[in-house]
A and B are shown apart, each in its own frame.
Chain A
Amino acid sequence: MTISLSDVSLVVGAETWLSDISLDLGPGAPHVLLGPTTAGKTSLIRILAGLDRPSTGRILANGADVTGKSVRKRNVAIVYQQFINYPSFTVYENIAAPLRRGGLPRKEIDSRIREVAALLHIDALLDRLPAELSGGQQQRTALARALVKDADLLLLDEPLVNLDYKLREELRAELREIFARRPSIVVYATTEPTEALLIGGRTVIMDAGRILQSGATAEVYKRPATVRVGEVFSDPPMNMIAGRVAAGRARLGSSLELPLGRHLAALADGPYIFGARCGHLFIDRRADDDLAIPGVLELAEINGSETFIHARHEETSWVAQEEGVHGLALGQPVTLYINPRHLYAFDDAGRLAAAPSGG
């Protein structure tokens, strides 16, 4: 089964929620929709499910037009961000709900429920009501209900957002295993770049109702087509600084100068925007050709075992992601180092001009 969208747009009132969405989806690898909130991920998922009709454009399933087909007649499964279960049904009945109308024999239904419940580790909870479960267990029930039927299209709209960190990590890894074994088309929406990288497969970057880039996840990560993709597919967002290339040398901002080598050597003279991922900035020198960025510490965010160090250099705020917990005093001078081989270059229209070979 393949699904393709051609020029789909969605206009609600005076606002455009989706525009010019053209996309081909197939089984084999999960498709990750990555974008900030209000990027249109949920709208797109609802259109794919058949819950909403697009304002213009067509949706083809195996080449046949299914644009106006009711959700009841499509073979889809959906998992929402909120934990949606039938409150008056037990977990068992919840999982059974999608199978009840298929005309399957009772024994077959029972064995499938137990199989999927075991897969999601809720086999001990089958007699409980959803209200008696923890958030993680409720979402596992919702996932089980979506997985129990052989849907052609499995849609997950930020399914792990409302879970705590530990559960999220755990389920994420399990989901990757589950997706790998399913023959259906899987569409997974998320706001988190790390989640997109973990789920893998193919990534579609969305922003403000448009598709910015789509392709194999690793490829999109290594070669973000535009500045905006670099910002979206990076957490914290990629550091960006305007610069100028002249005579084999680049000037970043007004005072940082570096010679152009390796992947940057081919850049023609002119204005550019240079990007650097936070993970490539350090507070100590690691190589002789590192570019030093002197600055003043604005903020040191401790995030688990990492610290995000925000330093201001001239007009630009740089963020470095450092391992370990660093107790730094605000306002103290700090120098960040980045190796030029990690620099991205975008032309003045925001399109990728040069990307590091290592990603």
Chain B
Amino acid sequence: MRIRKSTIGLLIYLTLTLLPIYWMLNMSLRTNADILENFALIPLNITFDNYIKIFTDEAWYSGYLNSIIYVSINTAISLATALPAAYAFSRFRFLGDKHMFFWLLTNRMAPPAVFLLPFFQLYSTFGLIDTHIAVAISHCLFNVPLAVWILEGFMSGVPREIDETAYVDGYSFPRFFVTVFVPMIRTGIGVTAFFCFMFSWVELLLARTLTTTDAKPIAATMTRTVSATGLDWGLLAAAGILTIVPGALVIWFVRNYMAKGFALGRV
């Protein structure tokens, strides 16, 4: 059987991209001594000690919980504010609407570090430092504009006549929005939620600066565990693998929406 050139190319590409992840998985299943002494493509003495440590030590698993909490809060806030905003942008013409829409997007163009100092100062003043809500709100700076932008694309694809028909049929606006409109753009909402989740999940700078212990994200926990005795390779690798898992799960659930979203809207 002849194997096509493109197949070979694809295999090489996949190997190159998956190798680091595989290597991390490999390391996470070995002890530190084993990692440092032997080079092994396949781990021979598999151990789950690293994972057990993460799931039993509060300093470790609370990192995951904190991350999940603020990411969820952020996704909820982003969607709750972006849905009405996107509806307004897609349905109404008002003074400066186009400039405002563009201005929203420009918020994404600045690097997060620019906002670090003002955020830190403000949150200190209000006593918000080291709370989940602080991180969630700071991430809104990037996620709300993105959410508005994506949702506006999906909403503009819905004919205005449907809104009007609903009013003719006697729907009040809130009831129309929740029972008729939202189900029509659920693909867009899925895609938006995914992007909010991803950005918030991988963002490290703001999350680390605005937290100390109570709301410390997992990424920060990982960077702070470099001790005097050196790096705990196996433990770090296990934490890394567990960090990928939520993202992978979310992608798995929204993969159909994503495909549709890329085809329909504005992703």
Contact = CB atoms under 8 A, between A and B. Distances in A.
Contact of A72 (B161, B167, B183, B184): B167
B18 interface: no
A221 interface: no
Interface string A68-89: 0011100011101010101111
Contacts of B165: 78, 80, 84, 86, 145
B172 interface: yes
Interface string B80-118: 000000000000000000000000000000000000000
B52 interface: no
A70 B171 CA distance: 12
A84 B180 contact: no
Nearest to A87: B184
A72 B163 CA distance: 12
B3 interface: no
A84 B169 contact: no
Contact of B159 (A78, A82, A98): A82
A78 B183 contact: no
A352 interface: no
Contacts of A51: 164, 167-168
- Decide if the interface of chain B is mainly helix, strand, loop or mixed: helix
Given A51-B164, A84-B162, A72 B172 contact: yes
B255 to A, nearest CB: 21
Interface string A41-54: 00000000101000
Contacts of A72: 167-168, 170-172
A101 interface: yes
A71 B169 CA distance: 9
Contacts of A78: 164-165, 168
B169 A97 contact: yes
Interface string B161-191: 1101111111110000000100110000000
A85 to B, nearest CB: 8
Contact of B164 (A71, A87, A98): A71
Contacts of B162: 84, 86
B168 A77 contact: yes
A80 B161 contact: yes
Interface string A310-327: 000000000000000000
Nearest to A88: B183
A102 B169 CA distance: 10
Interface string B222-237: 0000000000000000
Interface string B132-165: 0000000000000000000000000001011011
Contacts of A71: 164, 167-168
B161 A98 contact: no
A40 to B, nearest CB: 18
A49 B168 contact: yes
A88 B162 CA distance: 12
A98 B180 contact: no
Interface string A184-221: 00000000000000000000000000000000000000
A198 B177 CA distance: 39
A30 B20 CA distance: 73
Contacts of B159: 82, 84
Contacts of B169: 97-98, 101, 145
Contacts of B168: 49, 51, 71-72, 76-78, 98
A101 B164 contact: no
A84 B161 contact: yes
Contacts of A88: 180, 183-184
Contacts of A97: 166, 169, 171
B6 to A, nearest CB: 36
B167 A82 contact: no
A70 B164 CA distance: 11
Given A72-B167, A88-B180, A88-B183, A82 B172 contact: no
Contacts of B172: 72
A101 B184 contact: no
Contacts of A102: 170
Interface in A95-153: 97-98, 100-102, 145
Nearest to B170: A101
A145 B168 CA distance: 11
A51 B183 CA distance: 24
B79 to A, nearest CB: 18
A73 B171 CA distance: 10
10 contacts: A49-B164, A71-B167, A72-B170, A72-B172, A84-B162, A86-B165, A86-B180, A97-B171, A145-B165, A145-B169
Going nearest first, the 7 A-B pairs with the smallest beta carbon separation are A88-B183, A98-B169, A101-B170, A84-B161, A97-B169, A71-B167, A80-B161
Given A51-B164, A84-B162, 7 more contacts: A72-B168, A72-B171, A86-B166, A86-B180, A89-B180, A97-B166, A97-B171
